[in-house]
C-alpha cells in the first residue's frame, strides 16, 4: 500500500471514529486536515519504533479536532433555541474528541505519549492566550509569531519528543502558509466569522484591512523565498520521509490560488 493510500485510509477511519449521529443533526461535519495526517504518519515512520502508527496518528488528530472545536465557541450569551443547542453541543463535541484521544492512547498503554500530547496542548493554549488576549499590541509580527506556533504546535512538539527536530521549521512554515491563505481569503470576502484569527484582531477597530492583507502577502512571499533559496536546494540531503513531505508541501502550495489548499485536501481524501 502506498503512503497516500495509507494516509487516506487513516483519514476515513478518523471520520468514522468521530462520527456521532446526534451531533451530525445539529453541527457541521468536523474538519480533518489530511496534510497533518500525512505529516504525523511520516514522523512516526521516520522514528521507526512505533508499530501501531495508525492509532497514534488518529489520537493526535482527534486531540487537534477537540482544540479546534472548542475554538468555535462564541462569547455571545444571548443565544436561544437551536442556536443555544448548537453552542452547547459544540462544547460537548470538543470534550468528546478530547476524551477520545485519551481512550485511543490508553488502549496502546502509552502513558508517555499521553504526557507528551498533554504538554503540547498546554503550550498551544499558551500561544492562543497570548494571541487572543494581548493588550496594546500594534506590531503584526507579534500575532504572526503566535499564529505560526498555533498552527503546528502539536505536531512540532511531538517531533521534538521523537528527536526529529530538523522537521520542525519546515512543518511550521507550511501550516502557517496554509493559515495565511485562509486569512487572506477572509479579508477578501469580509466574512465576519469567529473561525478567522484575523477577525479577532480587527473586529471593532479601524485597522486598515488592505494594509493587513498586504502584510499577509509579504509574509507568504517570505516563506516562498525561504523555501526556494534554502529548503528546496537542500532536499536531496534530507531523509526519504522528509523529502516526500517536502514534495507534497510544495505541490500543494505552489499554485497559491484562492481555496486551493482546502479543495486540494478534500479531493485528495474523498477520492
CATH at residue 100: 1.10.600.10
Enter the C-alpha cell of residue 258: 484562492
CB contact at 8 A, 94 and 69: yes
> Containing domain of residue 60, as a range?
3-269
- Least confident window among 81-95, 115-129, 189-203, 234-248: 81-95
Tell me how far apart the alpha carbons of residues 181 and 217 are, in angstroms, rounded to a whole number.
9
- What confidence tier does 189 reach under pLDDT thresholds 50, 70, 90? confident
Burial 208-217 (b: 16+ CB within 10 A, else e): eeeebbebbe
- 260 pLDDT above the threshold of 50: no
Enter the C-alpha cell of residue 144: 504572526
CB contact at 8 A, 171 and 155: yes
Enter the C-alpha cell of residue 15: 471520520
What is the mean pLDDT of the segment spanning 104-119? 89
- 158 pLDDT above the threshold of 90: yes
Q: How many CA atoms lie within 13 A of 80 on its CB side?
A: 1
Q: What percent of the chain clears pLDDT 70, i.e. is strictly above it?
A: 77
> What is the structure's pLDDT at 183?
87
Instruction: Give the chain's domain count.
Output: 1
Closest of 42, 51, 7 to residue 155, by C-alpha:
42
Q: Which of the two residues, 178 and 27, has the higher pLDDT score?
A: 178
pTM, rounded to two decimals: 0.85
Using CA atoms, how far residue 206 sits from 23, 127, 197, 252, in Å, is: 38, 25, 17, 35
Enter the C-alpha cell of residue 167: 522537521
Amino acid at each position: 500500500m502506498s503512503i497516500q493510500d495509507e494516509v487516506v485510509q487513516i483519514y476515513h477511519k478518523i471520520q468514522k471514529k468521530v462520527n456521532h449521529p446526534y451531533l451530525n443533526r445539529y453541527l457541521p461535519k468536523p474538519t480533518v486536515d489530511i496534510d497533518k495526517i500525512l505529516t504525523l504518519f511520516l514522523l512516526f515512520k521516520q522514528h521507526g519504533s512505533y508499530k501501531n502508527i495508525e492509532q497514534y496518528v488518529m489520537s493526535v488528530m482527534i486531540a487537534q479536532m477537540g482544540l479546534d472545536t472548542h475554538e468555535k465557541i462564541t462569547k455571545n450569551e444571548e443565544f436561544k433555541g437551536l442556536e443555544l443547542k448548537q453552542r452547547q453541543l459544540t462544547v460537548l463535541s470538543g470534550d468528546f474528541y478530547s476524551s477520545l484521544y485519551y481512550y485511543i492512547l490508553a488502549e496502546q498503554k502509552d502513558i508517555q505519549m499521553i504526557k507528551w500530547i498533554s504538554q503540547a496542548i498546554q503550550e498551544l493554549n499558551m500561544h492562543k492566550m497570548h494571541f487572543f488576549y494581548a493588550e496594546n499590541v500594534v506590531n503584526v509580527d507579534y500575532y504572526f509569531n503566535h499564529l505560526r506556533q498555533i498552527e503546528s504546535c502539536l505536531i512540532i512538539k511531538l517531533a521534538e519528543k521523537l528527536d526529529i527536530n530538523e522537521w520542525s521549521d519546515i512543518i511550521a512554515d507550511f501550516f502557517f502558509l496554509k493559515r495565511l491563505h485562509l486569512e487572506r481569503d477572509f479579508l477578501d470576502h469580509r466574512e465576519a466569522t469567529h473561525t478567522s484569527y484575523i477577525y479577532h484582531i480587527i473586529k471593532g477597530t479601524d485597522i486598515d484591512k488592505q494594509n493587513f492583507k498586504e502584510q499577509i502577502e509579504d509574509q507568504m512571499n517570505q516563506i516562498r523565498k525561504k523555501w526556494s533559496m534554502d529548503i528546496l536546494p537542500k532536499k536531496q540531503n534530507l531523509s526519504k520521509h522528509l523529502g516526500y513531505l517536502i514534495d507534497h508541501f510544495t505541490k500543494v502550495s505552489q499554485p497559491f490560488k484562492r481555496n486551493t489548499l482546502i479543495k486540494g485536501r478534500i479531493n485528495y481524501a474523498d477520492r
